[in-house]
Chains A and B, each alone.
Chain A
Amino acid sequence: MSPRTQAHQSPAPLRLEGLSRREFLEAAGFTLSIAAITGCGRAPVVTALPFAEQPEGVVPGRTLTYASTCPGCAAGCGLLVGVRDGRPLKMEGMPEHPLSRGGLCAVGQALPLGLYDSQRLAEPQQGGQAANWRQVDAQITKRLADIANSGQAVRLVTPTVTSPSLQAAIDRFLARFKDARHVLFDPVSSSAILDAHAKTHAARILPHYRFDAARLIVSFGADFLGTWISPVEFTAAWQTHRAPTEAQPTMSRHVQFEGRLSLTGAKADQRYRLAPDEYGLVLSHLLAKLATRAGESEPQADLAESPIAAAVLDQLAEELWNARGASLVVCDSQEVATQVLVNALNHRLGNYGQTLDLARPSRQRQGDDANVLALVEELRGGKIGALLVAGVDLTHNLPGREALARAIGNLPLSISFAERLDDFASLAQFVCPDHHPLESWSDAEPVQGLVSLSQPTLQPLGHTRSLLESLSRWSGRQEHAYDIVRATWRERVLPRSESTDFRPFWDQAVHDGFVQLDAGPAPTVSEFRGDAVELTTGRPVDQDLVLILYSKVGLTDSRHAHNPWLQELPDPITKVTWDNYVCVSPRLAGELGLTDGDLVRVDSGDPATGLELPVLVQPGQHDRVVAIALGYGVRGTDRFANIGPSWLEARPTLAPGELVGKNAAGLIALRDGGLHYVRGAIQLTETGARHELASTQLHHSLHIPANVAPHGAEVRDVVQQTTLAAYVRNPQAGAPESHHFSATQLWPEDHTPSGHHWGLVIDLNKCTGCSACVIACQSENNVPVVGKDEVRRQREMHWIRLDRYYSGDGDDVDVLQQPMLCQHCDNAPCETVCPVLATVHSPEGLNEQAYNRCVGTRYCANNCPYKVRRFNWFKYQRDDARQNLALNPDVTVRTRGVMEKCSLCVQRIEAGKIAARQRGEPIADGAILTACQQSCPAQAIVFGDRNDPDSRVSQALADPRRYRVLEEFNFRPAVAYSRVVRNRDKAPPPAGGGAPSTGGAAHG
């Protein structure tokens, strides 16, 4: 065929020759109707598989609760594991637990995602290859026997071990070697506190801090509400004196000295900026003043001028003196000399035995840095035969990684027990993966005399083996972890109790999750040794930059970095997700010409430790301080490169092979027998490059001067605070004067709730901003993870967010946290604009969202003044079938194009109503707990029936501190807040930065 004819014929098929318009429509109609008829077919066949043999007590669809111990860190909080149809789904705090009192932090709440992680090791590995247990056991047993015979050194590294069973197993295992040592390595160590007590009290112990007994708390850098030692326990104790009432207008006082802005500092009544290398000097001044106050006339050392004004310290010393025996001084310094000063202060104030318990010390931090440093030396010297590491990533969390890696490569035997292929596991010859803690038996004794149990809540998902069993097998026994724990309890725990019969004692312990033992071997503590105290007299000469390495709320150390819930949890202060960064003060940033997102190089003199990280300008930080979070740059986090939805404009969040954040552990200083997270002589160099941080809140509030503000955009009192002095005079102090509030209603009173009227009150004086509620809600309500790129576009999906407000100038700021969730307004602006009635009001005062009715116009989100509605821009990643096991079957998984928001846990309300109906009783106050309320370590959230005048929520609503956000608009929210009261004289600067833009207006 010639090209010409081709050209002539080619359009022919397009013309549908011979088919008239009418015929075309007929054909199309026929096709359509056939398609419609086929659509009427039966739904696909669904099978239902009952048990062949139903285990006793298991009812499909009903949640069984097991008492356990939270394995997230060494704090050992009480845990209730909700198991539904064989799957642990929801972690809750145990209200009966004496330490955590029902609270559970974000890390504990996020456990299910770690359990259902398809990247957990499912079988042992040898030389990087999958192996089986028989092979691995045979080889390890043989090599261990060789090492035992040749007398080579064996080192077993773990973080703090609070488990009596594990400690016994380790002791048994190491007993057969001549040169064996158990090295306790805490990635975030508090070794200096223990060393200081060794000096002053001749016992290397950590006191049990009793924040509930303290009326005056002075903290030097210790973030005890956020990350320090046992934050949930400390928050639960601290909150007991934080709610002044009209009848009793008193509260504890909390003074914080710190270099960076921590969660605890943000909550303090009075906060002073102090570089961490000056803690010693200020403590010495306080000690000297108290000595004078006590009437001692001993010659005082010649102290350099205090960086904190003398008048402030005089007043503080006076306050401390007046609160003798009911005050508490804590410090996070890793300088033993500084911690000795803290001990001297607490001793001088008579706090030992009152707010610091040495008779029943805490076992939550046992890390011994001197041993860790010795281990590093031994490794470098090639003096070790076998290195076993469990529960901690040794090489990730220590500086000098390359040298360590080379040394480990030359070891005769190296074994890792990691759940995932972490940095040390990738270097080790053998990886013998431990169970996830929810899969195995264990126990814990976080504070002497309180022993708790962990029980398995499902069959192990992979061919993993408990650490207890591995050690037992290599010690020549073949015991099951259950028998090991039981034997320990029979031999070591039962004799310390009043019971004699083991069986009922054990059964009760398994049921309750913990036992409290009256008698415990109290440690031998000497009288306070004053001669150990040496005042810090000088100021640091060079005024160089000081680096603080800290751990983040929610992420703690590297072991939770695999958890996308925790990675996407906004930092409570900086509001940044998915990254670590260099925090600098606004003044320092101004001097160096840096803005948020500028990449800088951090140098400490050693070129090998240099690090490039983006800058974050942090108000409230000391001008000489630079702060970087640890726990980032973890091996395996490159898995999050494609976590966001794949769409046209999706940007990769990580370059190929890149990890989430950078590992700052290289900057940890090893000196004076300790791991130091503070180091001086830091240099920042601008690189010129930029890195966009994913923040959920605008870094700078938008301030519109009043004279140019359009009507309606004036500064509003979104969040309110007052001082205790003002509160005593007028309990309603802090309420804005210019409320144009009117009872006149635009709408008829046509939905007055007659039955229940649900309401929620959050006490902002107790709320610390720890963000446990965010993860609790995410776990309960199947909230998706959207990834860093989508967070940058402000499309995060959390149903509850913590709005952080700064007030005051850029140097000394007051920080306020206000959890913001759907306010369930009675006059809801979202309801009136929904064209399809997908969001409507229930007779019980709930603002309901019917997902299957929603067509995604997003009018409701536009009209919501609180910006709490979340739109599903995509069908967020649910590809990982293993991870989907963490989904709550009681809540719909929303699809693309649907609006969603807080439902006040309506599934729990419905379940509570049904349970009450079954008992034939009215719903008891407190029987229904929302997920955020259940886990709140500060017990700041109260939920209940507003129509019941005796309910706790009605009482909270009657409190004069109560206010509602944007009350003047008459939305009549069902959610209310209790005003912040700071225990100080000076009135706080105007809070709330006004325009809702500070509260993240651009959401949705």
Chain B
Amino acid sequence: MQQRVITIVLLIGLGFGLVTLGSGMAAWRLPDNERGYAPQQPIDYSHRLHAGELGIDCQFCHTGAGQSRHAGIPSSDVCMKCHKFVTSSFAVLQDESKQADAEKRKPQPIISAELRKLYDSLGLDQQLNRRPDVQPQSIPWVRVHNLPDHVYFDHRAHVVVGVTCQRCHGPVESMERVRQFETLSMGWCVNCHRETTAQGIDGKPVNAGTSCAVCHY
């Protein structure tokens, strides 16, 4: 009887241990495999909201993707195209507007905490006017997709032949905070280059090279 209890306790312990270990195992990876990397960003920017819900095209902000090696992170003034007017979430603004109507006054400008960081980077005050004493500062975004120094990846080459952004970056439009979706390892790159050369993109033939100097020089 006692032995059976011990066995059951041990089995439960083992099972528990396996579950804990197993879930931890999922996060394990080989060196340099950064898949799943989703660092905290200086502003809680939601790709799900912008790219998913609002349906803004990737290249509306990442303009470099079609013109340069780097897709680029949009400068703060790109954000201002919309956020000059949208200073907080719609619900909050609407509440304030209703309340102001009820109280027969002008609605107060409301700026959300996250957007405040954007305005600070451009040196804007409460009324979104330029503060002469403040120099605009870059927002220190954390890079999610990093390639080793000896790899040359050119966004333009991929965008012009019609490789979708999601092919490498995954369903960013459903991510609240961006995480690395693929391994971005050499084997993964080469596989895709082989497959696309064999299959083409949207029925069009593509010559995706696999010789070393396509990426390493």
Contacts and interface: CB of A to CB of B under 8 A. Distances in A.
Task: Classify the secondary structure of A's interface with B.
Answer: loop
Contact of B136 (A53, A843, A851): A53
Contact of A61 (B64, B74, B211): B64
A49 B141 CA distance: 6
Nearest to B123: A52
B70 A60 contact: yes
Interface in B190-214: 207, 209, 211-214
B132 interface: no
A434 to B, nearest CB: 28
Given A42-B37, A50-B74, A54-B75, A60 B142 contact: no
B142 A59 contact: no
What band does the interface of chain A fall in when counting residues whose beta carbon is under 8 Å from B? 35 or more
B217 A43 contact: no
A918 B78 CA distance: 25
A158 to B, nearest CB: 39
A538 interface: no
- Interface centre among B63, B121, B212, by most chain A C-beta atoms within 10 angstroms, is B212
A917 B214 contact: no
Contacts of B68: 59-62
A331 B178 CA distance: 71
Contacts of A40: 28-31
A53 B130 CA distance: 13
A442 B160 CA distance: 40
Interface stretch (A352-360, A903-911, A978-986): A903-911
A842 B213 CA distance: 8
Contacts of B140: 47, 49
A48 interface: yes
Q: Could you say which interface size class chain B belongs to?
A: 35 or more
B169 interface: no
A910 B212 CA distance: 12
A843 B209 contact: yes
B31 A39 contact: yes
Contacts, number: 129
B105 interface: no
Given A49-B138, A50-B138, A59 B216 contact: no
Given A51-B75, A52-B77, A755-B207, 20 more contacts: A43-B146, A49-B141, A50-B74, A50-B76, A52-B136, A53-B122, A59-B63, A61-B64, A61-B68, A840-B211, A840-B212, A842-B211, A844-B211, A849-B212, A853-B212, A903-B217, A907-B152, A913-B157, A917-B157, A918-B160
Nearest to B78: A54
B122 A918 contact: no
A52 B67 CA distance: 20
A906 B76 CA distance: 35
B85 to A, nearest CB: 18
B196 to A, nearest CB: 14
A850 interface: yes
Contacts of A59: 63-64, 67-68, 72
A856 B138 CA distance: 42
Nearest to A41: B31
B156 interface: yes
A45 B39 contact: yes
B101 interface: no
Contact of A910 (B63, B75, B142, B213): B213
A830 to B, nearest CB: 14
A732 B115 CA distance: 75
B154 A60 contact: no
Interface in B31-72: 31-32, 34, 37, 39, 63-64, 67-70, 72
A60 B64 contact: yes
B149 A917 contact: no
A842 B215 CA distance: 12
Nearest to A915: B156
A892 interface: yes
Contacts of A848: 211-213, 216
Interface string A473-484: 000000000000
Nearest to B149: A892
B150 A892 contact: yes
A54 B76 CA distance: 8
B137 interface: yes
B161 interface: yes
Interface string A839-863: 0101110101111110000000000
A48 B63 contact: no
A891 interface: yes
B217 A892 contact: yes
B168 interface: no
B72 A50 contact: yes
A269 B149 CA distance: 50
Contacts of A844: 211
Given A52-B121, A53-B75, A47 B142 contact: yes
Interface string A755-770: 1000000000000000
B138 A52 contact: yes
B128 interface: no
B139 interface: yes
A890 interface: yes
B9 interface: no
A487 interface: no
Interface string B71-99: 01111111000000000000000000000
A7 interface: no
B143 interface: yes
A46 B143 contact: yes
A33 to B, nearest CB: 13
A890 B217 CA distance: 8
B186 to A, nearest CB: 10
B152 A890 contact: yes
A43 B32 CA distance: 7
Interface in A791-843: 840, 842-843
Given A45-B142, A50-B76, A53-B77, A914 B160 contact: yes
B179 to A, nearest CB: 12
B216 A48 contact: no
B216 A892 contact: yes
A907 B143 CA distance: 24
Interface in A342-382: none
A47 B156 contact: no
Interface string A911-934: 001100110000000000000000
Given A40-B29, A52-B121, A52-B138, A906 B78 contact: no
Nearest to A50: B73
Given A50-B73, A54-B77, A842 B160 contact: no
A47 B141 contact: yes
A775 B8 CA distance: 77
Contacts of B122: 52-53
Given A40-B30, A52-B121, A61-B69, A46 B146 contact: yes
Interface string A256-267: 000000000000
Interface in A305-358: none
Contact of B76 (A53, A842, A891): A53
Contact of A914 (B39, B146, B156): B156
Contacts of B34: 42-43
Contacts of B213: 842, 846, 848, 850, 903, 906, 910
21 contacts: A40-B28, A46-B143, A47-B140, A49-B138, A50-B138, A50-B141, A52-B75, A59-B63, A59-B67, A843-B209, A846-B213, A848-B212, A848-B216, A852-B150, A853-B212, A890-B217, A891-B217, A892-B150, A903-B217, A906-B213, A907-B152
A849 B149 CA distance: 16
Top 6 closest pairs, chain A to chain B, by CB = A52-B136, A49-B138, A54-B75, A51-B75, A842-B211, A61-B70
Contacts of A890: 152, 217
Contacts of A846: 211, 213
A853 B63 CA distance: 34
A51 B140 CA distance: 10
Contacts of A891: 217
Interface in B1-47: 28-32, 34, 37, 39
